[in-house]
Amino acid sequence: MSRTLTIEPVTRIEGHARITLQLGDTGEVEDAKFHLTQFRGFEKFCEGRPYREMPALTARTCGICPVSHVIASNKACDHLLSVSIPPTGEKLRRIINLAQLTQSHALSFFHLSSPDLLLGWDADPATRNIFGVMRQDPALAKDGIRLRQIGQTIIETLGGKKIHPTWVVPGGVSEALTQEKRDAMLAMLPEGLDIAKRTYAFFKTLVPKFKDEASHFGNQPTMFLSLVTPKGNLEHYDGLLRIKDAQGRILEDMVPPHEYERLIGEAVEDFSYMKFPYYKPLGYPKGIYRVGPLARLNNVDACGTPYADVALAEFHMLQESGPIASSFHYHYARLVEIIYALEMMERLLKDPTILDARVRARARSNRYEGIGVSEAPRGILMHHYRIDDDGLVTWVNLIIATGHNNLAMNQSIRQVADAYVDGNNLQEGMLNRVEAVIRCFDPCLSCASHAFGEMPLAIELKDASGRVVDTLRRG
């Protein structure tokens, strides 16, 4: 008798989702799907609004990564204005973007994934949580809090508030940096870098224990999409598109982000409100690719900062050759990127022009279409607007980082389910592994699916007619 196993919601991620596993007559997994079942519709209700409202409106997509939307949205508005923003304005935007990456990656690693990594996937779910981590390794937990505090404090110092800052504006930023604020931010960074380096060193000792998970957690041949600098280095704010294939061959390089539609198509499926982007030349679903920290590190030739480049070299050694295929190593890549972000913020804050007063270009709209692309913590983020003669938005398309990974996440849960789930002997640890592979991607579903809902966890076993034959509840 075939059955459907439902995991809802998926825990310790940002937002709400459901996983269903279709089990065959003998308990083997026949299909696996990752569902986003609720809809928010930002693309529609932004229509008719003045384009200058878009950064504030779209930032409300998310309470955890609003800075990323603020950056991409303002870049789309820069494009509408047809302005080049002053260099200091750009550097300041880069700093707040990197602070966002630091706090977001810290949340993912220390708070969402460390219970699995430290306590094990099969640990008692009553203790496999942040309190379990605090008891097991209080120093690590304190480091996580402090690193997040540093990222959030820099966002607040620059943006005026932590959650929805309005300091980034079309044409640049609204206010120049003062020496007092610059010095306060610089004073925090050495401690942050110390934390990042010791966490990275600690995690390297854990990686060998997870060979099995690394083999089955989304260990799959896909392409990788990210921004890179004109020299092919790590880039989070601007740059050009690069796509590598699973063997490491560059398929697309130095493509201006405004040409994204030439490369990226978007499919829809009836089981999810999250779109399924794909690489157009290979079609759907063959054009599967991944974005985010793993893709960025796989795509670049170098990070461009000292410690991050050492860590990048070690990252490449996780596999004999080619791009790192296992999605489990998103965790590793995330830690490398925290090191990079802290080093780069220090470099930018020490730049002799960082206190310049000219931080904003002013103009009215000069074209009808604007595209803004940046790297959010979870991957490349695309905002695309069309406006009319009055500057009112007529059309919006948002391709969210988590959405780019949709095909890969679906494929990953199938792989984990095949490896670990026995429908005849259902164990909580099996299901936690299915959730854990999703946590590797650190999806932000509030952004990607525009989901909103409550958080009870129920795992239901249904027979072929949809009758519930067994239920597990958590929380």
Partner 1 sequence: MTGSRTAGTKVLIIGYGSPIRGDDAIGPLVADRLEREGVPYGVAVISRHILTAELVADLVEHDRVIFLDAAVDGPPGEVRCRQLAPDASAMSTMAHFLDPRELLAWCETLYGQVPETFLVSACGTSFDYANYSLTPDAEAAMEPMIERVRQLIAQPAPI
Q: Which residues contact 270 (CB under 8 A, 6 or more apart)?
A: none
CB 300 within 8 A of CB 253: no
Q: Which of 2, 149, 319, 397 binds partner 1 (CB under 8 A)?
A: 149
Burial class of 383 by CB neighbour count within 10 A (0 to 12, 13 to 18, 19+): buried
Q: Which stretch binds partner 1 (CB under 8 A): 18-26, 127-135, 302-310, 330-338?
A: 127-135
Q: Confirm or reject binding of residue 475 to partner 1 (CB under 8 A).
A: yes
Number of residues that bind partner 1 (CB under 8 A): 34
Q: Which residues pair with 461 in a beta bridge?
A: 5, 470
Q: Which of 277, 244, 239, 276 is nearest to 258 (CA)?
A: 239
In angstroms, what is the minimal distance from the CB of 333 to partner 1? 20
Q: Confirm or reject binding of residue 33 to partner 1 (CB under 8 A).
A: no
Q: Which of 221, 214, 226, 377 is nearest to 291 (CA)?
A: 226
Q: Which stretch binds partner 1 (CB under 8 A): 58-66, 262-270, 287-295, 370-378?
A: 58-66
**Closest to partner 1 by CB, 191 or 314:** 191
Q: Confirm or reject binding of residue 160 to partner 1 (CB under 8 A).
A: no
What SS3 state is found at 467?
coil
In angstroms, what is the minimal distance from the CB of 239 to partner 1? 28
Q: Which stretch binds partner 1 (CB under 8 A): 13-21, 67-75, 222-230, 386-394?
A: 13-21
State the binding string over 291-310 for partner 1 (x if CB under 8 A, else -).
--------------------
Cα 71 off chain centre by: 14
State the binding string over 87-126 for partner 1 (x if CB under 8 A, else -).
----------------x---x---xx--------------
- Residue 453 phi, psi (nearest 5): -175, -170
Helix 406-420 to helix 428-441 angle, to the nearest 10 degrees?
160
Cα 2 off chain centre by: 35
- Residue 167 phi, psi (nearest 5): -75, -35
Q: Which stretch binds partner 1 (CB under 8 A): 137-145, 233-241, 265-273, 336-344?
A: 137-145
**Closest to partner 1 by CB, 130 or 255:** 130
The CA distance from 383 to 367, in Å, is 15
Q: Confirm or reject binding of residue 131 to partner 1 (CB under 8 A).
A: yes
State the residues that interact with partner 1 by CB under 8 A.
Answer: 9, 11-15, 60, 63-64, 103, 107, 111-112, 129-131, 134-135, 138, 141-142, 144-146, 148-149, 152, 161-164, 455, 457, 475
